Structure 1
Amino acid sequence: MSSKLKQQASYEATFAHNFWKQTLSRVPAIPAGIELAGKTVLVTGANVGLGFEAVRNFLRLRPSLVIMGVRSVNKGEAAAAALRREFLDARIEVWELDMESFRSVQAFAARAERELDRVHVAVLNAGLGKLKFERVDEGGCHEVTIQVNYLTTALLSFLLLPKLRPTTSSSEPGRLSIVNSGASLGLSLEDPGDGRFLDSFDRAEKFNGFGQYGLSKLLIMMFVAKLAQTINPKEVIVNCTDPGATKGTEFFRSVNSWIMSIALRSFMGIIGRRTADASRIYLHSSLVLGEESHGSWTDWIIRAWPKTMYTDQGHHMGERLWDETLEELKFARVEEKL
């Protein structure tokens, strides 16, 4: 488990380690014998990039049903049509999911509650990075990166728990893997003092796009570590999965500087993995790794948490984040899902 890897945390946060991991290591193949017959797989952000390739990788294991959660149903159906041509017997459904909206997340989860007997595997892949400060138009009007990468992802995690839990004592635990990023590894959180912790990320004057993205991913890792303490891994195994730097995705699609765009594409061209390879990491986290990965940071093995999470300050901030998150999401009665 990541909780036991404190001694590795500093090294795993270094550029040298991550450059080595990106350029010299290869994502292992999925072991033979893993099949998904009779099972339902759910992937968010599934019509492009890593999400789309993850669906393709899951379909090779012949699940009974794949749910593609997408913001645009038209684009999702076009992606699903391409997959149906490749996997002729596949059963694929496209469901609308706007991660900027609490209401959309609730509607998505309510549909799962109504229409699905069970979700066996859920990969929460939808995410974004914004280089300019923007607020969502709903709820507490949070900055959009924090809303999408943290708050609505946490909300969907809570709301899917009942469907992820096994229906009989002999059933395997459900799998919940939330996509994370090495951008969080060297970061720490500032104590906002008497103010609300979550509100401290909504200040335009302190906004930095790349920094905010990394912080949003640190928040979700802290959330997963705490969530894992509250749920039984015999029922649901939850972890974070890190695909690493990946070429050919639409991430940071909001970049409007041609210089920045060229720089990012050039960097990804040097160290980025192919989406087909990077998305296979999702399957390692959600199918290959077992109960030992509960609450952990993973790719094809278990990695150390961001080093701040091993400190007293990091532990304190994680507890505070958890309490504020439960308060923020109380409108959805999330504590009843635990």
Structure 2
Amino acid sequence: MSTQLKQQASYEATFFHNFWKQTLSRVPVIPPRTELAGKTVLVTGANVGLGFEAVRNFLRLRPSLVIMGVRSVDKGEAAAAALLREFPDARIEVWELDMESFRSVQAFAARAERELDRLHVAVLNAGLGKLKFERVDEGGCREVTIQVNYLATALLSFLLLPKLRPTTSSPESGRLSIVNSGASLGLSLEDPGDGRLLDSFDRPDKFDGLGQYGLSKLLVMMFVAKLARTINAEEVIVNCTDPGATKGTAFFRDVNSRIMNIALGAFMGLIGRRTEDASRIYLHSSLVLGKESHGSWTDWIIRAWPKTMYTDKGRQMGERLWDETLEELKFAGVKEKLQKDL
């Protein structure tokens, strides 16, 4: 587990380690006997890039159903049609999911509650990066990167837990893997004093696009570590998965700076993995790694947490974040859901 890898944390946060991992290591193949017969799999952000390739990799293992969570149903249907030409016997459903909207997340989870007997694997892949400060237009009107990459992801995680838990007819642990980023590894959270931690991310005067993205991913890792201490791995195994820098994704789709796009293209061309390789990491985290990965930061092996999470301050910030998150999402009854279902 990541909790035992404190000695590796500083090294794994270095550019040298990540450059070596990206350029000189290869994502292993999925063990040949891995299969998903009779299983239901969910991938969000599934119509493009890593999400699309992850769906393709899952389909090779013959699940009974794959759900593609997408913002645009039309684009999702087009992506599903392309996959069905390759896997004509597959069962694929396209469900609308806009991570900028809590209402959409709740509607998506309510549909899962109505229509699914059991959800076996959920990979929460939808995310974004912004170079300019923007707010969502509902609820607390949070900065959009924090809303999508953290708060909406936490909400969806809470709401899917009941369907991920074992049943009499399907007694194995559910799998919840949340896509994260090495951009979080060297970061820490500033103590806002008497103010709320979540409010401290909503300041336009201190906004740094890439820095805000990294902070949103640090929040996710702290959330996963605490969630894993709250739920039993015999019920749901939860971890973070890191595909690393990847070519051909739509991650910076909203970047409209020509210079930035050229720089990002050159960087990805140098160290980026192909999407078909990077997406295989999702399967390692959600299928190959076992209960030992509960609460951990993973790719094809278990890695160290962001180094701040091993400090007293980091642990205090993690507890504060958890409490504020439960308060922020109380409209969806997440605290009661934890108490009732876990």
Is the TM value for this pair above 0.5? yes
Cα deviation code 1:100-125 (max 9, x no counterpart) = 00000000000000000000000000
Q: Kindly state the Cα deviation for residue 227 of structure 1 after the two structures are TM-superposed.
A: 0.1
Q: Which residue of 2 aligns with 1:72?
A: 72
Q: Which residue of 2 aligns with 1:109?
A: 109
Report the residue type matching 1:251 in the other structure: F
Of the structure 1 ranges 204-213 and 246-255, higher mean CA displacement relative to structure 2 is found in 246-255
Q: Which runs of 4+ in 1 moved over 2 A?
A: none
User: For residues 112 and 319 of structure 1, what CA distance do their matches in structure 2 show?
Assistant: 30
Report the residue type matching 1:78 in the other structure: A
User: For residues 53 and 334 of structure 1, what CA distance do their matches in structure 2 show?
Assistant: 31
**2:284 corresponds to 1:284:** yes
User: For residues 334 and 140 of structure 1, what CA distance do their matches in structure 2 show?
Assistant: 17
User: For residues 175 and 196 of structure 1, what CA distance do their matches in structure 2 show?
Assistant: 32
Q: Which residue of 1 aligns with 2:233?
A: 233
Q: Kindly state the Cα deviation for residue 8 of structure 1 after the two structures are TM-superposed.
A: 0.1
Q: Which residue of 2 aligns with 1:199?
A: 199
Look up the SS of the partner of 2:279 in the other structure.
Answer: helix
The correspondence of residues 20-39 of structure 1 with structure 2, limited to 5 A, is 20-39=20-39
Cα deviation code 1:211-248 (max 9, x no counterpart) = 00000000000000000000010000000000000000
Q: Which residue of 1 aligns with 2:100?
A: 100
Report the residue type matching 1:7 in the other structure: Q
Return 5+ residue gaps in structure 2 as ranges: none
**2:337 corresponds to 1:331:** no
The correspondence of residues 314-329 of structure 1 with structure 2, limited to 5 A, is 314-329=314-329
User: For residues 66 and 149 of structure 2, what CA distance do their matches in structure 1 show?
Assistant: 22
Q: Which residue of 2 aligns with 1:124?
A: 124
**2:198 corresponds to 1:190:** no
Q: Which residue of 2 aligns with 1:57?
A: 57
User: For residues 14 and 280 of structure 1, what CA distance do their matches in structure 2 show?
Assistant: 24
Return 5+ residue gaps in structure 1 as ranges: none
Look up the SS of the partner of 2:239 in the other structure.
Answer: strand
User: For residues 170 and 67 of structure 2, what CA distance do their matches in structure 1 show?
Assistant: 24
User: For residues 182 and 79 of structure 2, what CA distance do their matches in structure 1 show?
Assistant: 28
Report the residue type matching 1:148 in the other structure: V
User: For residues 90 and 118 of structure 1, what CA distance do their matches in structure 2 show?
Assistant: 18
Identity of aligned residues (%): 89
Look up the SS of the partner of 1:67 in the other structure.
Answer: strand
Q: Kindly state the Cα deviation for residue 252 of structure 1 after the two structures are TM-superposed.
A: 1.2
Q: Which residue of 2 aligns with 1:137?
A: 137
Count of residues in Structure 1 that have an aligned counterpart in Structure 2: 338
Q: Which residue of 2 aligns with 1:45?
A: 45
Q: Kindly state the Cα deviation for residue 169 of structure 1 after the two structures are TM-superposed.
A: 8.1
Q: Kindly state the Cα deviation for residue 171 of structure 1 after the two structures are TM-superposed.
A: 1.3
User: For residues 118 and 46 of structure 2, what CA distance do their matches in structure 1 show?
Assistant: 19
**2:272 corresponds to 1:275:** no
